[in-house]
Structure 1
Amino acid sequence: MLSSIRNYLFGRPASTMSGKQRETITSFVDDLIADNRIAVFSKSYCPYCRRAKQLLSGKYSDVPATVIELDERSDGSDIQDYLAEKTGQSTVPNIFIDTKHIGGSSDLIALEESQQLGALINKL
């Protein structure tokens, strides 16, 4: 339903994924989130994504972040559609720390400014 509304509002065609393709995307995204302390779904040209990646790679470089550049993947729009269904957020960056959905760049910056990000990232 959310996908249909977004497609109507933003002119994107409905997903043409087959059941198998959807299963592959779902597994890829869920496994990536589960297997990495920090997972960032990004677009290489996005200034908000760059800001979030710079914060993570600069101040928190001791904890590796896995970054998936959706604009550089043929299935990037399908991944973004699944993330929108999973999180309710259709924009990038879409950030997860220890499987918890953090949100986007402004959410990450707000956590940093409130001094909560370090504790979240560095917890065991």
Structure 2
Amino acid sequence: MSGPVAVKVKNIIDSDTVVIFSKSYCPYCKMAKEVFDKLCQKYTAVELNELDDGDSMQAVLGELTGAKTVPRVFVKGECLGGGTDVKQLYESGQLVAKLQ
């Protein structure tokens, strides 16, 4: 997987400890962001529905992670999954461990 969109996605993932590929109207995306807000953890949110190449980026994320849905949440370059996955990791205490 190469090409300019794939490179862009990989660069964004590497740009911050927490990166959330999101859509501004998605309730699961909001759920994921709220978890990090509760932890006072800074994150980069990429609102795919507001970008010209958002659909292409979402297709790249599908290839990278095996899931085409949003959010796609990355912590230190590792995809943790979506909103429900992040919430479960938070509730179990595993998310804080991954952030340290």
Question: Does TM, scored on the shorter chain, surpass 0.5?
Answer: yes
Verify: 1:48 aligned to 2:13, yes or no: no
Amino acid at match of 1:35: S
Unaligned runs of 5+ in 2: none
Amino acid at match of 2:39: Y
The count of residues paired between Structure 1 and Structure 2 equals 99
Verify: 1:85 aligned to 2:63, yes or no: yes
- After TM superposition, give the deviation of residue 77 of structure 1 in Å: 0.4
State the match for 1:103 in structure 2.
Answer: 81
State the match for 2:7 in structure 1.
Answer: 27
Task: State how far apart, in whole Å, the 2-side matches of 1:69 and 1:24 are.
Answer: 18
Amino acid at match of 1:114: S
| Deviation string, structure 1 residues 81-101 (Cα, Å, up to 9, x no partner) | 000001001100000000011
Task: State how far apart, in whole Å, the 2-side matches of 1:66 and 1:60 are.
Answer: 14
Report SS of the residue matched to 1:64: coil
- After TM superposition, give the deviation of residue 47 of structure 1 in Å: 0.5
Larger Rg: 1
Q: Which residue of 60, 80, 93 corresponds with 2:39?
A: 60
Q: Which has the higher contact order (CA 8 A, sep 6+)?
A: 2
Task: State how far apart, in whole Å, the 2-side matches of 1:64 and 1:43 are.
Answer: 18
Task: State how far apart, in whole Å, the 2-side matches of 1:34 and 1:26 are.
Answer: 12
